[in-house]
Amino acid sequence: MKEYIIEKQTGRAFTLKAGDLISIIDIEGKQVADFFAVSTMNHQEYFSAAVTIDCKESLLITKDDTLYTNLYRPMFTMIHDDVGIHDLLIPCCRKQMYNHFFNNGHGHSNCFDNINQSLSKFGIPPFTTLQPLNLFMNTSITPEKKIIIDPPLSKPGDTVTLRAEVDAIVSISACSVIEGPCNDGVCKPLKVRIEQRD
């Protein structure tokens, strides 16, 4: 078993074999983890939030649920979930997003760059759009179909564990948003634990 710290507002990528377990731990609580993955064998196959929503026919994802690729193949199974509330709707924060909402994108750390940069170390070209699984992110939809973002429900030490169903390169970013309730106004580090199959 290996453990890693992802410092606040940074990202890191990891290689997994099918059967390996990866746990994402919210060390201090109320910190979103942007989770994205690419198939090791085919970089044109990657985690798809939209396909996962389509296959589950739900916006909720929790223990025993499957994450799917853009080719509709199972990629991960969530085998442990302390929180039960995560987000599949919101794309990675990026310079353009900060400019749109807050007029402060220049030089702002962001998950879009963190994920693309960490994947580039494995020879993966940059994605033009990234819609990750936003672990611990607390979104809801009103009867008027408006999306609301509230502070995460995760407490210090809360954990999500996923089992890889295919060989994959996983990138995780400790979300950089301090301007709103996404991380309860404070960016914090994450811990990642990887348990390799025998």
pLDDT at 106 over 90: no
The tokens for 86 are: 């995560």
Looking at residue 102, what is its pLDDT? 87
3-state helix, strand, coil in the chain (%, to 5): 15, 35, 50
Looking at residue 100, what is its pLDDT? 94
What's the whole-number mean pLDDT along residues 40-59?
Answer: 97
What's the whole-number mean pLDDT along residues 81-87?
Answer: 98
How much of the chain, in percent, has pLDDT values that exceed 70?
Answer: 99
Place of tokens 């994605």: 127
Looking at residue 197, what is its pLDDT? 82
Q: What is the pLDDT of residues 141-156, one digit of tens each?
A: 999 999 999 999 999 9
What's the whole-number mean pLDDT along residues 9-37?
Answer: 98
pLDDT at 198 over 70: no
Looking at residue 23, what is its pLDDT? 98
Tell me which amino acid residue 24 is. Answer: I
Looking at residue 126, what is its pLDDT? 97
Q: 165 — phi, psi (to 5°)?
A: -95, -10
pLDDT at 105 over 70: yes
Q: Are 28 and 188 in contact (CB under 8 A)?
A: yes
pLDDT band at 55 (very low <50, low <70, confident <90, very high): very high
Q: What is the pLDDT of residues 165-183, one digit of tens each?
A: 999 999 999 999 999 899 9
